[in-house]
Structure 1
Amino acid sequence: MPQKLVVIGNGMAPGRALEHLFEKAPGAYEVTIFNAEPRVNYNRLMLSPVLSGEKTFDEIITHDDAWYASHGVTLHKGKRVESIDRAAKTVTAADGTLAPYDKLIVATGSTPFIVPVPGHDLPGVLAYRDLDDVEKMWEAAARGGRAVVIGGGLLGLEAAAGLKAKGMDVTVLHIMPTLMERQLDPAAGFLLERSIAARGIEVICKADTKAILGEGKVEAVELKDGTVIPCTIVVMAVGIRPSTALAKAAGLEVNRGILVGDDIRSSDPDIFALGECAEHRGMVYGLVAPLYEMAETVACHLAEDASAAYKGSVTATKLKVTGIDLYSAGDFAEGEGREEIVLRDASNGVYKRLVLKDNRILGAVLYGETADGPWFFDLLKKQADISAMRDTLIFGQSYQGGAPLDPMAAVAALPDDAEICGCNGVCKGKITGAIAAKGLTTLDDVRAHTKASSSCGTCTGLVEQLMAVTLGSAYNPAAVKPMCGCTDLGHGDVRRLIVAKGLKSIPAVMQELEWKTSCGCAKCRPALNYYLLADWPGDYVDDKQSRFINERVHANIQKDGTYSVVPRMWGGMTSSAELRAIADVVDKFAIPAVKCTGGQRIDLLGVKKEDLPAVWGDLNAAGMVSGAAYAKGLRTVKTCVGTDWCRFGTQDSTGLGIRIEKFMWGSWTPAKVKMAVSGCPRNCAEATCKDVGVICVDSGYEIHFAGAAGLDIKGTEILCHARTEDEALEIIVALTQLYREQGHYLERMYKWLKRVGMESIKAAIVEDTAKRAHYFERFVHSQAFSQKDPWAERASGSVAAHEFRPMADLTLREAAE
């Protein structure tokens, strides 16, 4: 009989504890979680990229609804626990929900400190701790104006950068002489202030806030020296306090935080206190690495491993502001018997400082060049004797002992317990072990299985070096290569930064992302055009000169310079009127070849370029539009006759195919998309080698995807089963939209699946119906604007001629010239 484990709080620390527990003792506990927030667990370290727009909330979810379901966890969202009855061993939420426990984890986290100056309670004064705060900042940023951020620490600077990225003017007020004084010495603080200011963010140090001014809302901040700064919002980021009220009311021992021992138990042996609310050996930690170490200790004790003990942590800090490299670890204050080693490179903006005592590192501050941070941190934690490399220590691991090492050799020399990813507490041994045990070959594989490099990304270079060392020649970093010679950025970074920086034109992208060429090239311009269309439907105007010739003239160029024209036939169905119109066009323009295609359409081959506008004009007049046989978009939906004619048919495959095609045509995608619907498992429409395929069965519809039958031969993967035609359509549309938003330009769907993994796709499309509906609606929204493309007038209902606006002849004539 499993014991009952109740968790109060659903942050990163309890989430990590449950991961370890389910690995160590699967099925040992029946778990119930109370989360005051109305959502699943997410990575709070990544709130800053979400605020700036570099990431979406979906991208920072740690455990989605499917994860809780798969582990039998009951998650109460939006339910704040108000009392713990230690005698009855129950907890009660504000709405009356009661849960009994055998073991209890209190992980109530912390609350932001609000400076109690006059006006601190005005509307527009915000904290910065969770997604609700981020959403309030988004609302404020949409209105524009100036934001004042009080606090020049980690959170304050990340909030300032995020609000600046959203278009606000930003002023940072910091009471101390330099920024991040707890983590940086004055020299590094000065360099950081200079970098922040270079991003257009005003920084005022030694700024003591007197009052927040305004009538019914925030209007300005007044400093004690009389300075008044007009603003529309104020963000308080001056510190946090452990949330201990619940524990104190239950009679647990509390100081600054809930007191815990090395086993992370509170004064009640059946209650653990974990995370920012816990106090261990006089320390309360606000960084994630110590919380993860605590979490593993809690999991061990819940799994009956009494040997586990948490001894405290030395912490390291990174600032998550794009383009600023900063690393700080340990203690760098002045003290008796301490010495320091300093390296300054003013021209490159590099500053390094090591604080030593008795030939051991006590602290490290790195600015501008941080690759050696994990190595210094490992030496610090182990209190290693550095006397043998004292003269070359500041130059980093590559020069230890005076003998330069190749960077790969330096990474290989790191011990297995050296921390590589501070955000997720991942050491070298876990990464190399996963690579070997699971056959991982790509960075995305390593991220999926270890979480290393999946958060802020500052450790990505180290992870890639580890992969190269571990895999040797088998490692192919093609996935992170630049998209072309015009930029050092890969497709993923370009897509992310287009959204983060609100870039809505090709010139804006090239300027802001520092393109190396003036106008781009044939590789990057079509890709940028697609990304801008996909990310800003309704705002971005399609740049037809950034399309390939086939897309510009709505026909496929052939080897002799003539063109192939393929009118659309919905689901492969046609009529005598359409056939007669095609025959008339063939005769009128002396088209030399007519062929049936593999996509159940008719191909007119050998059309002269100058005839294209008139050919399409005649076909349009007969109610026929382009089949987009040239497009990086939906091409065909192949069907069999299904229940209409076939004695084996289980569903109306023809009708569903036509419905899908009419709903989705005109949608741009990263690469070509072909679909098929087969009316029974005999699969006459060959649905199991298409990008998306449907196999109709007695109980509904099997949805397949990620097949290929060209240069690569690949059968589809089964995504899920749909009971109704409406459900099947929603799944297919949402799946395509997810691909549109995540796919790299020219990346076929099967390659996208390999890169992002089936688990993430199923989580978004199958297991979370609300998320699926979200992607469906985003597709519908984008289709409203795709109608503006000449060939992409959407059909709804029958295919009558009056439903289609004639194709823009001007565009075709320009192309013909």
Structure 2
Amino acid sequence: MQPITFIGTGLAAYTVAREFRKLDKESPLRFITTDDGHFYSKPMLSNAFAQKKTPETLVTMPVTKMVEQLNAEILTQTQVTQIAPSEHAIYAGDKRFDYSQLVLAWGADPIRIPLAGNAADKVLHVNDLGDYGRFRAALEGAKRVVVMGAGLIGCEFANDLQPAGFSVTLIDIAPNALGRLVPEAVGHAVQQALQELGVSLYFEKAVKSVDSADSGYRLTLSDESVLETYVVLSAIGLRPRTELAKAANLSVNRGVVVDRFLKTSADDVYALGDCAEVEGLVLPFVMPLMSAGRALAKTLARQLTAVTYPAMPVVVKTPACPLVVSPPAVGLEGEWQIDGEGKDIKALFYTPSQQLSGFVLTGAKVAEKTALTKELPAILA
């Protein structure tokens, strides 16, 4: 029997495998990954510095232990170059690997905006352990850090780095923090908290160019203002990896398109995690990934199981302003009702029929998360 094969060794792939092994102890499993294959919590990357975490201490289980735990073959530092669904095979260069079932769990890439300047290629992204190691090395001896993007991850990095002794500047083209996710009042609450830490905020501006300077880099913004910094970190967002799937003629939209059973348009090929689009949804968060992992493990074990997504609030790691977000569906008709002031805000999103369909809580209002979550409809029932 050919192995069930996973492309990727992140939380998505390892969750499926762990759940699968509860149902099937013997079927062969193979993982192919471009990295070291160690198990770690990717969400911790954005608040690891202040905790003095190194790439090594972020690893919770080395690849050798994962091989033992999962009774699996794990091929590291290996780049898959082709998927051939009609052959039930994938290729890494000239090397062919046959599979019985294939799971695409290769994640997403940082969005890279075009920048001018002779140091545009020095802008850092943190999307895996290797990236985090390079970021930590760049911070040694640095005093000032510019973070591009004031979304969830950008705000988390700013909140992590400023108390650690860096002078952080946060830049976003939106008019306020978290502008794509939350009402203005919530964005202002987060901004107030970050400013009280000492973070400098630049909104409705973008970085145009990055050039080398005597000590670090010189950034020119869209309003022609200039900033100097030692480190530039881009936290603008992620884009699902779809190139290999597209080349294999799999259905691709924003992500690799899958049905409720996480099956792609090719037989015996599945996808989950940051690369997958389920019923039009791309949800790059831990809880949807875990739900998908449990469902797919059963399907791989021939117990066909549809994925369901209950309401899944996201806890944002900004201790300066505790924050929980359960955004309404994109395009859903309704309006926000906002209560509170300062850093203690409760924003509730109601449809015209007065169905609670989303919420955002900050500060002391976070205590209402559990009760409000019970009132929300499932994302995918």
Flag whether TM exceeds 0.5 (same fold): yes
* Structure having the larger proportion of residues in strand: 2
Q: TM-score, normalised by structure 2?
A: 0.90
Please say if residues 92 and 99 of structure 1, whose CA atoms lie closer than 8 Å, have aligned partners that are also in contact.
yes
Alpha-carbon separation, structure 1, partners of 2:375 and 2:216: 48
- Tell me the SS of whatever aligns to 2:36: coil
The equivalent residue for 2:338 is 342
- Offset of residue 315 of structure 1: 4.3
1:283 to 255, 269, 281: 281
The equivalent residue for 1:363 is 358
Please say if residues 33 and 74 of structure 1, whose CA atoms lie closer than 8 Å, have aligned partners that are also in contact.
yes
The equivalent residue for 2:83 is 84
- Tell me the SS of whatever aligns to 1:143: coil
Q: TM-score, normalised by structure 1?
A: 0.44
Please say if residues 55 and 130 of structure 2, whose CA atoms lie closer than 8 Å, have aligned partners that are also in contact.
no
Alpha-carbon separation, structure 2, partners of 1:13 and 1:51: 24
Please say if residues 258 and 277 of structure 1, whose CA atoms lie closer than 8 Å, have aligned partners that are also in contact.
yes
The equivalent residue for 1:294 is 292
The equivalent residue for 1:101 is 99
2:369 to 366, 373, 385: 373
Alpha-carbon separation, structure 1, partners of 2:331 and 2:87: 52
1:319 to 285, 291, 316: 316
- Tell me the SS of whatever aligns to 2:374: helix
Change (3 A) 1:11 1:216: farther
The equivalent residue for 1:541 is none
Q: How do 1:431-580 and structure 2 match up within 5 A?
A: none
Alpha-carbon separation, structure 1, partners of 2:163 and 2:91: 42
- Offset of residue 234 of structure 1: 1.2
Alpha-carbon separation, structure 2, partners of 1:70 and 1:245: 31
Change (3 A) 1:72 1:335: closer
Please say if residues 263 and 310 of structure 1, whose CA atoms lie closer than 8 Å, have aligned partners that are also in contact.
yes
Q: How do 1:59-138 and structure 2 match up within 5 A?
A: 60-64=58-62, 65-94=64-93, 96-119=94-117, 122-138=120-136
Alpha-carbon separation, structure 1, partners of 2:121 and 2:300: 44
- Offset of residue 118 of structure 1: 0.7
- Tell me the SS of whatever aligns to 1:292: helix
The equivalent residue for 1:148 is 146
Deviations 1:83-134 (A, max 9, x none): 122233222225x554221011011111001110213863531112111221
Please say if residues 159 and 320 of structure 2, whose CA atoms lie closer than 8 Å, have aligned partners that are also in contact.
no
Alpha-carbon separation, structure 2, partners of 1:257 and 1:334: 19
The equivalent residue for 1:800 is none
The equivalent residue for 1:560 is none
- Tell me the SS of whatever aligns to 1:327: strand
- Offset of residue 352 of structure 1: 0.9
1:329 to 321, 326, 344: 326
1:265 equivalent in alignment to 2:263: yes
2:189 to 183, 188, 191: 191
Percent identical residues: 26
Alpha-carbon separation, structure 2, partners of 1:4 and 1:289: 27
Deviations 1:765-813 (A, max 9, x none): xxxxxxxxxxxxxxxxxxxxxxxxxxxxxxxxxxxxxxxxxxxxxxxxx
Task: Look up the equivalent residue of 2:234 and give its one-letter code.
Answer: M
Change (3 A) 1:145 1:67: same
Deviations 1:444-492 (A, max 9, x none): xxxxxxxxxxxxxxxxxxxxxxxxxxxxxxxxxxxxxxxxxxxxxxxxx
- Offset of residue 177 of structure 1: 0.9
- Tell me the SS of whatever aligns to 1:173: strand
Alpha-carbon separation, structure 1, partners of 2:128 and 2:301: 31
1:251 to 229, 233, 249: 249
Alpha-carbon separation, structure 1, partners of 2:108 and 2:215: 26
- Offset of residue 288 of structure 1: 1.7
- Offset of residue 250 of structure 1: 1.8
* Structure having the larger proportion of residues in helix: 1
1:352 equivalent in alignment to 2:346: yes
1:48 to 40, 46, 54: 46
The equivalent residue for 1:19 is 18
Gaps of 5+ in 1: 384-817
Deviations 1:345-402 (A, max 9, x none): 54xx31112122324211111110212213212211359xxxxxxxxxxxxxxxxxxx
Greater relative contact order (CA < 8 Å, ≥ 6 in sequence)? 2
Please say if residues 122 and 216 of structure 1, whose CA atoms lie closer than 8 Å, have aligned partners that are also in contact.
no
Alpha-carbon separation, structure 1, partners of 2:340 and 2:330: 19
Gaps of 5+ in 2: none
- Tell me the SS of whatever aligns to 1:226: coil
Task: Look up the equivalent residue of 1:362 and give its one-letter code.
Answer: S
Please say if residues 144 and 167 of structure 1, whose CA atoms lie closer than 8 Å, have aligned partners that are also in contact.
no
Please say if residues 128 and 155 of structure 1, whose CA atoms lie closer than 8 Å, have aligned partners that are also in contact.
no
Change (3 A) 1:318 1:120: farther
- Offset of residue 298 of structure 1: 1.1
Change (3 A) 1:217 1:230: closer
Alpha-carbon separation, structure 1, partners of 2:279 and 2:329: 21
Query: Which protein is bigger by CA-based radius of gyration?
Result: 1
Change (3 A) 1:345 1:291: same
Change (3 A) 1:298 1:146: same
Change (3 A) 1:79 1:164: farther
Provide the aligned C-alpha RMSD in A: 2.5
Change (3 A) 1:136 1:161: farther
The equivalent residue for 2:156 is 158
- Offset of residue 217 of structure 1: 9.5
The count of aligned residue pairs is 376
Change (3 A) 1:151 1:263: same
The equivalent residue for 1:234 is 232
Task: Look up the equivalent residue of 1:354 and give its one-letter code.
Answer: L
- Offset of residue 53 of structure 1: 2.9
Change (3 A) 1:382 1:282: closer
Task: Look up the equivalent residue of 2:109 and give its one-letter code.
Answer: T
